[in-house]
Amino acid sequence: MIEDPVSFEVLKNALVSVSREMSVALRKTAFSPNIKERRDCSCALFDADGKLVAQSKDIPVHLGAMPLSVKACIEEIGDNLVDGTMALLNDPFSGGSHLPDLTLVAPVYDDEDLVAFVANRAHHSDVGGESPGSMPGLSVSIEEEGVRITPRLVVQTGKLDTESISDLLSATRTPEERLGDLSAQIAANTVGIDRLQSVAIENGWDSLTRTFKDLLDYSEEMMGGRLSKYRGLESEFIDHMDSDGAGTWNVPISVSIKIGNRKATIDFAGTAEQVRGNVNCPIASTLSSVYYVFVVLFGHDIPTNEGCWSILNVDIPEGTFLNPNYPAAVSAGNVETTQRIVDAILGSMASIAPDIVPAASQGTMNNVAIGGIDPRSQKPFSFYETIGGGAGAMSGTHGESGIHSHMTNTLNTPIESLEISYPLRVWRYAIRRDTGGEGRWRGGDGIIREIELVSDECTVSIQSERRHGRPWGLHGGDSGVSGSNSIVYDNQIHELQAKSTVTAPEGAIIRIETPGGGGWGKPVD
């Protein structure tokens, strides 16, 4: 029971504001366009046990997974995580997602008492591995995807210890950019600590830590109440990944959902075993996908924190490709498989709560990584971006066109920034008309993006989905149109697989055509 609702509301918003200010600081001070322009980063606050209590409006796939990262640091570093230190990790088998996502965790102290944590996660454009961008089209082991960092202290007395990240700096093709982005992450955590302490000075740490608990309890109570409307209902659904990139096709994700008394059970029994390719999804990312769906369906006007998903019982069998074992390749799991997990859960929920569930969105992030030597500086470059597509329609609303959806919430890379920063030229950036599924409410259209290489012998890696399967419609709505990838040179169009890495000459044009979203309801004349 909240004793003082007014103070609770004030402190709740103060904590969210701290998270948002962290996010602004990270973006404003970052070096890479991927973080500065696309905003591929997230910030949040945690209590002393590592439970998420407040977050900025950033990337869903980051935020739901970050509590496991914070708890991994608490477990593995423990008492050495003292005032003035920060810990870094990216290990998918120890609370991380995929290797380019570097998470920086900092403790917050009241004199000698640990009272909270601040943390941020940012996608770095290169952390080593077999191909520039560390997002290979084909990889069969985590060791091929870059440097794996288990929780380690990298900041002492507020300063970055470069020796502690010597393996990362040796492996990456762009060490100066990595140092710049890591410095931005340190700055963001420093802002978070300072602002949180300012709130505590005004309100007292006792009041603040009590608000942490009240927030968790409040969100749990509210989410449970929303779910109770559907008590006793259950459903199941199977969706498929196109492929794992290594020869396995139509990889099934099976989910069954049962709504109980203010709780829900989500069971992935029947899902495919761990696969050879890189669509294996670390458990933190799988859980994040589950949390996301329930928050967007039932969490309107409820503070997003760990209380929202404490009512969820999630069973993910170990050894499946949604809970893989080392040394599984996982680089596409965090970005592509999470999108399909969302589709599968929404498909199951569509028969439980048909009026609030949308048709499938594009179901992919359309990852593109390009690297080589920049002829202007004669230094290596590494470019990475994701590309939007069509959103699924829902009752009363057409799907948005040309937008990032579900587990990603990034912007595009502005053409001006892209062409200034890299030896690349954008030839076309347009809505892919008539690719959304027809319906009473029409699915959104995809995007066409064409990028010319202005450097010779570039390595291009693509991780994408819905190139064979199509984003499904609901209640009589049509499916969205599949996407496609190709490379154009010598006046010829060469089709590319959904997951591929190629070497391309100067003048070649990479063409990505993204899927449309599914329609909702039978079409009306």
Nearest to 318 by CA among 350, 281, 291: 281
- For the chain, the distance separating the N- and C-terminal CA atoms, rounded to the nearest angstrom, is 53
Checking if the pLDDT of 315 tops 80, the result is yes
CA distances 331 to 178, 281, 285, Å, are: 19, 8, 11
pLDDT, tens digit (0-9, with 9 covering 90-100), for 461-497: 999 999 999 999 999 999 999 999 999 999 899 999 9
CB 134 within 8 A of CB 173: no
| CB contact at 8 A, 310 and 295 | no
Asked if residue 121 lies in contact with residue 95, where contact means CB atoms within 8 angstroms, the answer is no
CB atoms under 10 Å from CB of 101, counted, come to: 28
What six digits make up the tokens of 157? 């007395």
Q: What residue spans of 204-254 are helical by DSSP H?
A: 205-227
Please state whether 34 falls in left (phi above 0), alpha (psi between -120 and 50) or beta: alpha
Classify the phi-psi angles of 343: left when phi > 0, otherwise alpha if psi is within -120 to 50, otherwise beta: alpha
The residue type found at 496 is L
Asked whether the predicted pLDDT for residue 1 surpasses 90, the reply is: no
User: pLDDT by residue (tens digit) across 235-272?
Assistant: 999 999 999 999 999 999 999 999 999 999 999 999 99
In a domain, residue 125? The reply is: yes
Identify the H or E element spanning 421: helix 415-421
pLDDT bucket at 90, cuts 50 / 70 / 90: very high
Distance, in Å, from the CA atom of 73 to the CA atom of 77, rounded to the nearest integer, reads 5
Q: How many other C-beta atoms are found inside a 10 Å radius of the C-beta of residue 394?
A: 22
Average pLDDT, the chain: 97
For the CA atoms of the chain, what is the radius of gyration?
A: 22
Tell whether 215 and 362 lie within a shared domain: no
Which residues lie closer than 8 Å to 316 by C-beta, 6 or more apart? 268, 271, 283, 286, 287, 322, 323
Instruction: Count CB-CB contacts under 10 A for residue 153.
Output: 16
Question: Where on the phi/psi map is residue 447: left (φ > 0), alpha (ψ -120 to 50), or beta?
Answer: beta
Q: Using omega within 30 degrees of 0 as the cis cutoff, is the peptide bond preceding 327 cis?
A: yes
Tokens of residue 61, six digits: 């796939």
Of the candidates 134, 503, 497, the one whose C-alpha atom is nearest the C-alpha of residue 332 is: 134
Domain span at residue 459 reads: 358-525
Asked whether residue 328 is assigned to any structural domain, the reply reads no
Q: Which of 219, 246, 277 is the last residue of a domain?
A: 219
Strand partners, 458: 504
Give 25-59 pLDDT, tens digit per residue: 999 999 999 999 999 999 999 999 999 999 998 89
pLDDT of 525 reads: 65
Amino acid at position 2, single letter: I
pLDDT at residue 524, rounded to an integer: 82
From 191, 219, 247, give the residue that closes a domain.
219
Mean pLDDT, range 141-167, rounded to an integer: 97
**Nearest partner of 307 among 60, 47, 73, judged by Cα:** 47
Q: Is the pLDDT of residue 65 over 80?
A: yes
Beta strands in 210-288 (DSSP E): 234-243, 249-259, 264-267
Residues 77 and 87: their CA atoms lie apart, in Å, by 8
H-run or E-run covering 295:
helix 283-298
Angle at 398 between CA 395 and CA 401, to 5 degrees: 145
Instruction: Please indicate, yes or no, if residue 299 is contained in any of the structural domains.
Output: no
Q: Indicate the residue among 171, 203, 219 that finishes a domain.
A: 219
* 3 state DSSP class of 158: coil
**Residue 271, amino acid:** T
Position 88, amino acid: L
What total number of domains does the chain contain? 2
What is the pLDDT averaged over residues 9-13?
95
User: Is residue 215 one of the residues assigned to a domain?
Assistant: yes
Task: Please name which of 365, 461, 464 lies closest in space to residue 38, comparing C-alpha atoms.
Answer: 365
- State the DSSP code for 443: P
Model confidence at 2, pLDDT cuts 50, 70, 90, reads confident
- Is 327's pLDDT higher than 90? yes
Q: Is 328 helix (H, G, I), strand (E, B) or coil?
A: coil
Q: What is the mean pLDDT of residues 87-102?
A: 96
Listed in sequence order, the residues at least 6 apart from 106 whose beta carbon sits closer than 8 Å to its beta carbon are 85, 86, 87, 117, 118, 119, 155, 189, 190, 192, 193
pLDDT band for 4, please (50, 70, 90 cuts).
confident
